[in-house]
Amino acid sequence: MTTDELYNRLKSIQPGAVLCTYTKEKCEQMLPLINEINERKKDQDTVILAHSYVAPEIILGVADYNGDSFKLSEDATKVTQKTILFSAVRFMGETAKILNPEKDVLIPGPLTGCSLADSITGEEVRELRKKYPEHTFVCYINTTADVKAACDVCVTSGNVMKIIERLPTDKIVFVPDRLMGQNIQADLDKRGIKKEIVLHNGCCYVHETYDSELIDFFRSQNPGLKVVSHPECHPGVALLSDYVGSTGQMVNYIKEQPDETPFLLLTECGLNARMQYEHPKKRFIGSCSMCKYMKSNSLENILETLRHPEKAEHVELDESVRVAAKKCIDAMFYYAK
Ligand code: SF4
């Protein structure tokens, strides 16, 4: 890749605010890292999967696949390379390992946690099961392998409503996202479906920051504004949004809207950046927020992991945990059909 090619990909993106853009000089600095990563990928039979929330130079410079955690998990089952480098957070690498036990899965970021996934452990789910022995345990995909292994069915933000409705039970414990759980309950109530949903108290620290005042402010400044939010946001935010969906569903919704439409995306900034690149004629205004975990991925640490992978960067799972977690994910594929 040349500096001009890289600059042409990145120049329409404002990763932070209006005055924050990629310059040719910045592209020149990043280019040696990008070219060495791309060379090493070939030599080391490695594929890079990057979540939409990581930095644009990773997505547009070195990633082979890009998308939300569910799409990337599916992509991970199709790749032929022997090593998967997952530029995202640890639970996503674990999902790739659950589905591809024979592959070496690497996670390069130094902050590989997630406020949501880290809000509950497998042990805590097993304790909850004693309290609610008759309930079906549903976990969001943003959980560790150990939590998935302790639950019955996994869901994504794209299929959660469909699966909860289809489950042949009216007693559900949903972990770990309290706000998504409240959105599920509101959706069921709206459709007159009676199910008891017991919630845990986890949340995504990025999505919980948005509120209705923010939407009112941006609407007052931008006539015709389309507000697009993620189901990890507060139910009050979801209620005021024009569209609520997973990042994959948001991307499809945006694609269908006319050019020049102004959008307020209430999710991590990485999606804003990706949309600025993919839809240069649409307008993406604030106010997104950065996830410190996703943004701890960098070209430097991807390269370092390819040069000298540390033991902690390899995703390792106990086989009994992997098999039980796979059963939970398979149940999702079954109910989502
Ligand atoms: S955006 Fe939220 S859910 Fe996603 S990795 Fe960051 S803290 Fe976790």
Q: Which of 202, 234, 260 is the last residue of a domain?
A: 202
pLDDT reading at 23 higher than 90? no
Beta bridge partners of 153: 138
Torsion sign over Cα 58, 85, 63, 233: negative
Host domain of residue 221: 207-285
| Cα–ligand 1 centroid distance for 292 (angstroms) | 8
Supply the residue whose CA is at minimum distance from atom 8 of ligand 1. Answer: 114
At 7 the pLDDT is 83
Q: Which of 150, 177, 202 is the last residue of a domain?
A: 202
337 occurs within a structural domain:
no
| Cα–ligand 1 centroid distance for 5 (angstroms) | 31
- Count of beta carbons in the 10 Å neighbourhood of residue 138: 26
Q: Give the CA distances from residue 139 to residues 2, 121, 135, 255, in Å, rounded to whole numbers and listed in that order.
A: 44, 12, 13, 30
Indicate whether 306 and 261 sit together in one domain.
no
Indicate whether 15 and 92 sit together in one domain.
yes
- Mean pLDDT calculated for residue range 302-328: 94
- Rounded distance, CA 158 to CA 162, Å? 9
At 274 the pLDDT is 86
- Mean pLDDT calculated for residue range 297-316: 92
Q: How confident is the model at residue 71 (pLDDT cuts 50, 70, 90)?
A: confident
Q: How confident is the model at residue 20 (pLDDT cuts 50, 70, 90)?
A: low
Beta bridge partners of 136: 172
- Mean pLDDT calculated for residue range 67-95: 91
335 occurs within a structural domain:
no
- Mean pLDDT calculated for residue range 88-94: 94
Indicate whether 15 and 105 sit together in one domain.
yes
| Residues 202/178, Cβ–Cβ less than 8 Å | yes
Which tokens in the block code for residue 55? 């930095």
| Cα–ligand 1 centroid distance for 319 (angstroms) | 26
What is the per-residue pLDDT across 227-258, written as a single tens digit (0 to 9) for each?
999 999 999 999 999 999 998 899 999 999 99
> For residues 26 and 130, which has the higher predicted lDDT (pLDDT)?
130
Indicate whether 41 and 73 sit together in one domain.
yes
242 occurs within a structural domain:
yes
247 occurs within a structural domain:
yes
At 273 the pLDDT is 85
Strand order of the sheet with strand 171-175?
A: 153-155, 136-140, 171-175, 196-199
At 16 the pLDDT is 56
Indicate whether 87 and 12 sit together in one domain.
yes
Q: Which ligand 1 atom is nearest residue 293's CA?
A: 6
Number of structural domains found in the chain: 3
The mean-pLDDT minimum among 17-21, 145-149, 226-230, 239-243 falls in: 17-21
Q: How confident is the model at residue 6 (pLDDT cuts 50, 70, 90)?
A: confident
CATH number of 51's domain: 3.40.50.10800
What is the per-residue pLDDT across 248-295, written as a single tens digit (0 to 9) for each?
899 999 999 999 899 999 998 888 888 988 898 899 986 668 899 999
Residue 314, SS3? strand
The candidate with the shortest Cα–Cα distance to 201, out of 173, 179, 230, 172, is 179
Beta bridge partners of 226: 263
322 occurs within a structural domain:
no
- Mean pLDDT calculated for residue range 302-323: 93
Global pTM reads: 0.90
At 12 the pLDDT is 72
Supply the residue whose CA is at minimum distance from atom 1 of ligand 1. Answer: 291
122 occurs within a structural domain:
yes
- Rounded distance, CA 208 to CA 148, Å? 23
pLDDT reading at 17 higher than 60? no
Q: How confident is the model at residue 14 (pLDDT cuts 50, 70, 90)?
A: low
Indicate whether 108 and 123 sit together in one domain.
no
Indicate whether 96 and 20 sit together in one domain.
yes
At 118 the pLDDT is 96
Indicate whether 251 and 299 sit together in one domain.
no
Q: How confident is the model at residue 70 (pLDDT cuts 50, 70, 90)?
A: confident
84 occurs within a structural domain:
yes
Indicate whether 162 and 60 sit together in one domain.
no
Q: What are phi and psi of 197, to 5 degrees?
A: -115, 115
323 occurs within a structural domain:
no
- Rounded distance, CA 302 to CA 317, Å? 22
Supply the residue whose CA is at minimum distance from atom 2 of ligand 1. Answer: 204
Indicate whether 175 and 252 sit together in one domain.
no
Q: Which of 202, 233, 265 is the last residue of a domain?
A: 202
At 219 the pLDDT is 94
pLDDT reading at 130 higher than 80? yes
Q: Checking phi first, is residue 313 left (phi over 0); if not, alpha (psi -120 to 50) or beta?
A: alpha
At 287 the pLDDT is 64
Indicate whether 12 and 102 sit together in one domain.
yes
Torsion sign over Cα 90, 94, 96, 97: positive
Give the alpha-carbon dihedral of 143, 147, 150, 153, to 10 degrees.
Answer: 0
Supply the residue whose CA is at minimum distance from atom 5 of ligand 1. Answer: 114
Q: How are beta strands 136-140 and 153-155 bridged, if at all?
A: parallel
Mean pLDDT of the chain: 92
Where do we find the tokens 């970021």? 109
Q: How confident is the model at residue 13 (pLDDT cuts 50, 70, 90)?
A: confident
- Mean pLDDT calculated for residue range 194-220: 94
Indicate whether 111 and 159 sit together in one domain.
no
